[in-house]
């Protein structure tokens, strides 16, 4: 049977039932199945194995097997064309036929006529095998969608389409886009369509042979086709190919078309010159006469150096022409005479314009160092063609390497083994490391130096270094992008992976699936680059707690979270509590949810306020220098542009709003259109965030009544009103009277309107911030502002900050406004006196000479003792001044002269207001019993600053611990064993026993007494508290 499968017919019954024996025959021909035993022809497993060899075996299976649908499905899954041998009911069975055509579309030919009319079945067939379109019904071959699908995959399928679709321009374009030859099957009309032909010719000009001659005589059409593919010139009509003007126009656009031009034009100087000007290689198609024309040849080689090969022999040896050709292509020297190739002066010029010409010079010049140096300085890889003696010359090799490190590949081994030379070369060209010896490639410092400039340098380090964990960590700190060259073993190292993703989160891509499931690693990656979350495992992208942690570090990470989480209200609320900007990534349904959006708005504002407290940014811009600059810049840009209205209806540029609000936005920007249209919701939002109005619907921002309600909530919200509102003078005047800060949103001309500016500052002094420069220089406006709000002086013009009446008004309202006054005013005694009388700290901003004015300083320290710090050295030695200061605030003793810190009366006065001022007394007074007793009675913890002898004094110790139990920490060691002292401390300090001596801690009676003392103390405290508070206190 291995020789002739028909021999199976004469085998014994046992052999016909032997699966291996029968399979041997089936390997030759599937029809051998007819001689197999009935049991084998009924065995589905055997039959399917036979099908893998030959689908013909199927027709000899038993009827029982062929009637089984599951078997039919399995059969066509193995051999789709076996559908031919299945019973008719399966050729009409949609499931069976779909299974077959999804694997091999040609199986469609065996499907029933009914299914060959089924669009889904036919689409599945042509998806797999486009040319199976031929087996579809005539109706479907006229179906545009189906034919478009077929021809987009196999252009030749156009032949099988209906006549109508062969005349459908879009269908034909789709076919010829992929293969120009499909034009052959297009209708006659479309074979003359410019768009269709141009697309067809783009891939192959020879398709024009299928086009009617009259079309090929169309001058405009052929010009367009030839510009697409010069070879189309060969298929132009005879009259066009003989048309000189037409040919000239063509070669100017595409010189290569000269190849197909009429012979007469190949000898036409103007035509040939135009052709070589566009494409130097067109010289090949010129006549011999013009190949010897100096002007033509010079133009050709200036465009393409290799065109010299087509020039006449005499011109190939013309020095000027040859040099021009070499400048374009170094190999052009090969077409010059040997005499020129050994002419040193000429060769020096040649390698100067193109170093690669060195390849074609004579051997004696390849050993000439000056020639070779000039060549490698022009083109580093010219070193390849130098004599071997110069390939080991350090100066020559270095000149090449400095231009291109890869040139070292052509240097001799002796140079590459020279460490000193190589280190110098690597420093200038890191890629040189790949040619270094093992010793240098194993030198950590050399390799690190290279990696700093070139991430690829790591791949050239030795395996030893690439497997060194500590070295790789240093590499990542030097250049994180080198991670792609880290060994597989170290990529599995957790600490190495962490180091990598902290510098560049996208390096997560190179980690193993296991590490991409490590929460710490992915969190570090996402912190660095939010998009890194896309590279994490699907499980982590669905992990609620992990994504919350990620969004806290980088809210942008939510963009890549699983959709199910972004639609989960509980998750989104949790994310918003961490960062209000998370709303940007929530589902559209949640961006319509009032509770969710309001939480986002509040969260953004709270975060901005927290940043302001930390000194990072300003929420509303008040007290910010940049705000005044922003307004000034906005005014200038408005004047320059002529209008402060943008195309989307927002007044002013968003960059102005952005600067005004410290770079933040409002979460309302991410809310649904429905909520941004809801007046009540926007009003609630504005109450929390004045910036919200800017992102409300334009209909609300243009509604004056609504805008007025917003301003009543927060004056700064007027910034978000529409231009038609902010430019209404009468309306703006009424608005600023409600809240002066609304002036910030007024049109620039109105911010310079005196009546409006005056009304604004009278409503709120801080509105001066938003006035124009002209108004901030207006006496009446500024005076009105500083009388209400002294800090407004900061925003007055330089001239008015030096005006006595203005400054006096400001410091009378707020003494610290003195800091914003001009220097002459800070030196004005009456002004400074008014300032320190309002706030003693203002002394800090007085001119130096006035800090030596006793009356002034006394006025300051009587109001605020700490002002003593800013008094002159003389007055800090004045007993009267210091005594006044410490009576106000004892700690100001620290600013007194050393001589007065030993004055008992002064120190006692200080201690009566703050016992801790004992720390600033002299050593003698810290040992004075009266002084220390006064201190500890005021503040028990001041015992820490007493002399050791007094810390051992029981009376003083008792006074201290009675004032504050924690003072037990500072009593003398022996007093820690004194029951009375420890019990007294326990009255006010529950942990007093922790400081007691070991002896007392072991005394059960004493411990019981301590507990009773604490219980009594707590009970007394609880008497005036609710029960729950008392219990908490006891616990």
- Taking only the tens place, the pLDDT of each residue in 881-940 is 999 999 999 999 999 999 999 999 999 999 999 999 999 999 999 999 999 999 999 999
What is the 8-class DSSP label of residue 3?
S
pLDDT confidence bin for 21, thresholds 50/70/90: confident
- For CA atoms 634, 637, 642, 648, the dihedral sign is negative
pLDDT at 1028 over 60: no
**pLDDT greater than 50 at residue 838:** yes
Instruction: Give first-to-last CA distance, the chain, whole Å.
Output: 97
Integer Cα distance of 933 and 949 in angstroms: 13
CA dist 299 and 695 (Å) reads 64
How many residues does the structure list for the chain? 1035
User: Are residues 989 and 1013 in contact, defined by beta-carbon separation less than 8 angstroms?
Assistant: no
Per-residue pLDDT at 661: 59
Task: Give residue 341's region: left, alpha or beta (phi > 0; psi -120 to 50).
Answer: alpha
**Residues 443, 462: Cα–Cα separation, whole Å:** 9
The answer to whether the beta carbons of residues 786 and 810 sit under 8 Å apart is yes
What does the pLDDT average to over 622-640?
40
- Residues 116 and 135: their CA atoms lie apart, in Å, by 7
- Rounded alpha-carbon distances, angstroms, from residue 954 to 926, 961, 967, 1006: 16, 10, 13, 19
In this structure, of 143-147, 845-849, 956-960, the range with the lowest mean pLDDT score is 143-147
Q: Are 952 and 929 in contact (CB under 8 A)?
A: no
Cα–Cα distance for residue pair 258/273, rounded to 1 Å: 11
Q: How confident is the model at residue 977 (pLDDT cuts 50, 70, 90)?
A: very high
Tokens linked to 1019 = 């009970």
Give me the mean pLDDT over the 506-512 stretch.
86
pLDDT of 863 reads: 92
Which tokens in the block code for residue 284? 């090949």
Model confidence pLDDT, tens digit, residues 163-204: 888 888 888 888 888 787 788 888 888 887 878 887 887 877
Distance CA 768, CA 753 (A): 13
Cα–Cα distance for residue pair 175/154, rounded to 1 Å:
7
Check if the beta carbon of residue 516 is closer than 8 Å to that of residue 522: yes
Task: Among 642-651, 676-685, 933-942, name the one with the lowest average pLDDT.
Answer: 642-651
The pLDDT assigned to 660 comes to: 54
How is the chain split among helix, strand and coil, in percent rounded to 5?
A: 75, 0, 25
Token code pair at residue 358? 């060195």
Give me the chain's average pLDDT, please. 87
Cα distance between residue 603 and residue 595, in whole Å: 12
Separation of alpha carbons 491 and 495, rounded Å: 9
**Phi, psi at residue 645, to the nearest 5°?**
-105, 130
> CA 911 to CA 930: how far, in whole Å?
11
Radius of gyration from C-alpha coordinates of the chain: 47
Q: Is the pLDDT of residue 654 over 50?
A: no
Q: Is the pLDDT of residue 640 over 50?
A: no
Asked whether the predicted pLDDT for residue 652 surpasses 50, the reply is no
Q: Label residue 473 by pLDDT band (50, 70, 90).
A: confident
225-234, 647-656, 968-977: least confident range: 647-656
Confidence class of residue 614 from pLDDT cuts 50, 70 and 90? low
Alpha carbon dihedral 1007, 1009, 1011, 1012, in 10-degree steps, equals 170
Ordered DSSP codes for 637-691:
HHHHHS--B-TTS-BS-HHHHHHHTTT---GGGGS-HHHHT-HHHHHHHHHH-GG
Give pLDDT tens digits for 257-266: 888 888 889 9
CA gap 722, 190 in Å, rounded: 56
Q: Up-side HSE of residue 791: CA atoms within 13 Å toward CB?
A: 8
Mean pLDDT of the 376-387 span: 93
Give residue 1015's pLDDT: 67
160 and 131 Cβ atoms separated by less than 8 Å: yes
Percent of the chain with pLDDT over 70: 93
Which CA distances in Å does 687 have to 401, 599, 990?
68, 13, 47
- Does residue 1030 have a pLDDT over 60? no
Q: What is the C-alpha separation between 637 and 925, in angstroms, rounded?
A: 67
pLDDT in the model for residue 1017: 60
Burial of 187 (0-12, 13-18, 19+ CB in 10 A): middle
pLDDT of residue 775: 95
933: closest CA among 976, 963, 970? 963
Q: Rounded CA gap, 340 and 478, in Å?
A: 52
Residues 685, 561, 571, 526, CA torsion sign: negative
Average pLDDT over residues 381-403: 92
* pLDDT value, residue 663: 59
pLDDT at 835 over 70: yes
Spatial contact of 949 and 974, defined as CB atoms under 8 Å apart: no
pLDDT for res 651: 42
What is the pLDDT, as a whole number, of residue 1034? 25
H-only helix segments in 791-841: 804-813, 823-826, 829-838
Name the residue with higher pLDDT: 217 or 351: 351
Long-range pairs of 626-634 with CB within 8 A, sequence gap ≥ 24 = 626/659, 627/659, 627/660, 627/769, 628/769, 628/795, 630/656, 630/659, 630/660, 631/660, 631/744, 631/751, 631/769, 631/770, 631/772, 632/773, 633/659, 634/748
C-alpha 475/C-alpha 491 separation (Å) is 13
Model confidence at 635: pLDDT above 60: no
Query: What's residue 630's pLDDT?
Result: 43
In 864-913, which residue ranges form alpha helices assigned H by DSSP?
879-888, 904-913
- The model carries a pTM of 0.55
Residues in Cβ contact with 103 at an 8 Å cutoff, skipping those fewer than 6 apart? 76, 77, 80, 128
pLDDT at 208: 79
- Using an 8 Å Cβ cutoff, are 699 and 674 in contact? no
Task: Assess whether pLDDT exceeds 60 at residue 639.
Answer: no
Q: Looking at residues 973-980, what average pLDDT do you find? A: 93
**In 3D, which of 696, 697, 735 has the Cα closest to residue 716?**
735
Maximum average pLDDT range among 169-178, 273-282, 555-564, 650-659 = 273-282
Question: If pLDDT is split at 50, 70 and 90, which confidence band does 1018 have?
Answer: low
Segments of 482-564 assigned E as strands: none
Q: Could you tell me the pLDDT band of residue 711, with boundaries at 50, 70 and 90?
A: very high
- Please check whether residue 196 is in contact with residue 166, taking contact to mean a CB–CB distance below 8 angstroms: no
Q: Where are the alpha helices (DSSP H) in 702-848?
A: 704-713, 723-726, 729-738, 748-751, 754-763, 779-788, 804-813, 823-826, 829-838
User: Phi/psi class of residue 153: alpha, beta or left (left: φ > 0; alpha: ψ in -120 to 50)?
Assistant: alpha
Query: Average pLDDT for residues 284-296, to the nearest whole number?
Result: 94
What does the pLDDT read at residue 298? Answer: 95
Question: Tokens 């309600």 label which residue?
Answer: 709
SS3 category, 468? coil
């Amino acid at each position: 049977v291995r020789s002739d499968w028909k021999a199976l017919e004469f085998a014994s019954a046992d052999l016909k039932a032997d699966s291996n024996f029968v399979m041997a025959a089936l390997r030759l021909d599937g029809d051998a199945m007819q001689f197999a035993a009935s049991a084998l022809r009924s065995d589905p497993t055997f039959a399917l194995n036979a099908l893998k060899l030959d689908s013909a075996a199927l027709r000899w299976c038993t009827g029982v097997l062929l009637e089984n649908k599951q078997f039919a499905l399995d059969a066509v899954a193995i051999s789709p064309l076996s559908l031919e041998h299945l019973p008719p009911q399966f050729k009409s069975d949609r499931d069976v036929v779909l299974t077959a055509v999804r694997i091999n579309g040609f199986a469609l030919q065996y499907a029933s006529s009914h299914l060959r009319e089924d669009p889904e079945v036919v689409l599945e067939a042509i998806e797999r095998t486009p040319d199976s379109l031929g087996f579809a019904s005539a109706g479907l071959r006229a179906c545009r969608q189906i034919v478009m699908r077929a021809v987009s995959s196999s252009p030749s399928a156009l032949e099988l389409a209906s006549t109508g679709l062969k005349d459908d321009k879009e269908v034909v374009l789709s076919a010829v886009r992929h293969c120009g030859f499909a034009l052959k099957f297009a209708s006659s009309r479309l074979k003359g369509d410019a768009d269709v032909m141009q697309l067809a010719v783009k891939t192959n000009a020879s398709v024009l042979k299928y086009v009617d001659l009259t079309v090929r005589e169309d001058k405009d059409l052929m010009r367009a086709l030839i510009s697409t593919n010069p070879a189309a010139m060969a298929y132009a009509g005879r009259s066009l190919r003989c048309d000189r003007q037409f040919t000239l126009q063509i070669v100017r656009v595409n010189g290569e078309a000269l190849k197909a031009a009429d012979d007469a034009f190949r000898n036409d100087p103007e035509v040939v010159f135009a052709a070589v000007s566009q494409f130097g290689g067109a010289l090949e198609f010129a006549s011999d006469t013009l190949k010897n024309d100096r002007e033509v040849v010079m133009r050709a080689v200036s465009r393409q150096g290799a065109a010299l090969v087509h020039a006449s022999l005499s011109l190939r040896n013309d020095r000027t022409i040859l040099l021009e050709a070499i400048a374009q292509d170094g190999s052009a020297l090969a077409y010059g005479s040997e005499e020129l190739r050994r002419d040193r002066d000429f060769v020096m010029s040649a390698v100067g314009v193109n170093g690669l010409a060195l390849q074609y010079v004579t051997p004696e010049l390849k050993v000439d160092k000056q020639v070779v140096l000039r060549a490698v300085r022009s083109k580093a890889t010219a070193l390849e063609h130098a004599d071997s003696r110069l390939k080991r010359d350090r100066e020559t090799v270095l000149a090449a390497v400095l231009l291109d490190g890869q040139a070292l590949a052509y240097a001799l081994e002796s140079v590459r083994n020279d460490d000193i030379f190589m280190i110098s070369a690597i420093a200038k060209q890191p890629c040189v490391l790949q040619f270094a010896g093992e010793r240098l490639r194993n030198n950590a410092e050399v390799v690190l130096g290279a990696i700093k400039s070139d991430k690829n340098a790591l791949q050239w380090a030795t395996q030893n270094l690439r497997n060194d964990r500590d070295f790789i960590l240093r590499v990542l700190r030097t250049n994180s992008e080198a991670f792609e060259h880290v060994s597989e073993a170290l990529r599995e190292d957790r600490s190495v992976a962490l180091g990598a993703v902290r510098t560049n989160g996208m390096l997560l891509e190179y980690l193993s699936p296991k590490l991409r499931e490590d929460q710490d690693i992915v969190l570090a990656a996402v912190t660095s680059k939010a998009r890194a979350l896309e590279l994490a495992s699907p499980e982590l992208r669905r992990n609620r707690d992990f994504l919350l942690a990620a969004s806290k570090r980088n809210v942008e990470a939510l963009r890549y979270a699983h959709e199910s989480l972004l639609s989960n209200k509980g998750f989104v609320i949790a994310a918003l509590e961490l960062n209000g900007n998370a709303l940007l990534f929530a589902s559209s349904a949640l961006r319509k949810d009032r509770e969710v959006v309001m939480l986002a708005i509040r969260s953004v504002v709270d975060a901005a306020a927290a940043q302001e407290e930390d000194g990072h940014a300003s929420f509303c811009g008040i007290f910010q220098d940049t705000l005044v600059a922003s307004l000034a810049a906005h005014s200038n840009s408005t004047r320059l542009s002529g209008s402060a209205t943008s195309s989307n209806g927002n007044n002013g540029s968003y960059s102005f709003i952005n600067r005004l609000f410290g770079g933040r936005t409002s979460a309302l920007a991410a809310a649904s259109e429905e909520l941004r249209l809801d007046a009540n919701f926007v009003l609630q939002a504005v109450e929390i965030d004045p910036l919200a109005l800017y992102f409300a619907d334009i209909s609300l921002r243009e509604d004056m009544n609504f805008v007025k309600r917003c301003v009543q909530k927060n004056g700064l919200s007027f910034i978000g009103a529409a231009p038609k509102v902010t430019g209404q003078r009468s309306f703006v005047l009424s608005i600023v009277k409600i809240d002066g800060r609304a002036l910030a949103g007024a049109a620039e001309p109105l911010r310079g309107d005196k009546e409006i500016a005056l009304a604004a500052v009278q409503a709120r002094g801080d509105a001066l911030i938003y006035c124009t420069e002209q108004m901030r220089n207006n006496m009446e406006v500024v005076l009105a502002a500083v009388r209400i709000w002294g800090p407004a002086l900061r925003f007055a013009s330089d001239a008015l900050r030096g005006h006595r009446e203005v400054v006096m008004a400001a410091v009378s309202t707020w003494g610290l406004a003195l800091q914003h006054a001009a220097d002459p005013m800070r030196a004005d005694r009456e002004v400074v006196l008014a300032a320190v009388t309002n706030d003693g700290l203002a002394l800090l901003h007085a001119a130096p000479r006035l800090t030596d004015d006793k009356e002034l300083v006394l006025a300051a320290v009587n109001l605020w003792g700490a002002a003593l710090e800013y008094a002159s050295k003389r007055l800090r030695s004045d007993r009267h001044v210091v005594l006044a200061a410490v009576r106000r605030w004892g700690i100001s003793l620290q600013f007194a002269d050393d001589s007065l810190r030993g004055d008992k009366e002064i120190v006692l006065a200080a201690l009566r207001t703050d016992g801790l001022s004992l720390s600033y007394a002299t050593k003698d007074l810290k040992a004075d019993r009266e002084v220390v007793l006064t201190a500890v009675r005021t503040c028990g913890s001041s015992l820490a600053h007493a002399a050791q002898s007094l810390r051992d004094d029981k009376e003083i110790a008792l006074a201290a611990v009675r004032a504050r139990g924690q003072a037990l920490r500072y009593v003398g060691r022996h007093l820690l064993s004194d029951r009375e002292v420890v019990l007294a401390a326990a009255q006010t300090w529950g942990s007093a026993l922790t400081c007691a001596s070991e002896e007392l801690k072991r005394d059960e009676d004493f411990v019981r007494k301590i507990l009773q003392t604490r219980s009594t103390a707590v009970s007394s405290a609880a008497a005036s508290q609710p029960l729950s508070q008392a219990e908490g206190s006891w616990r």
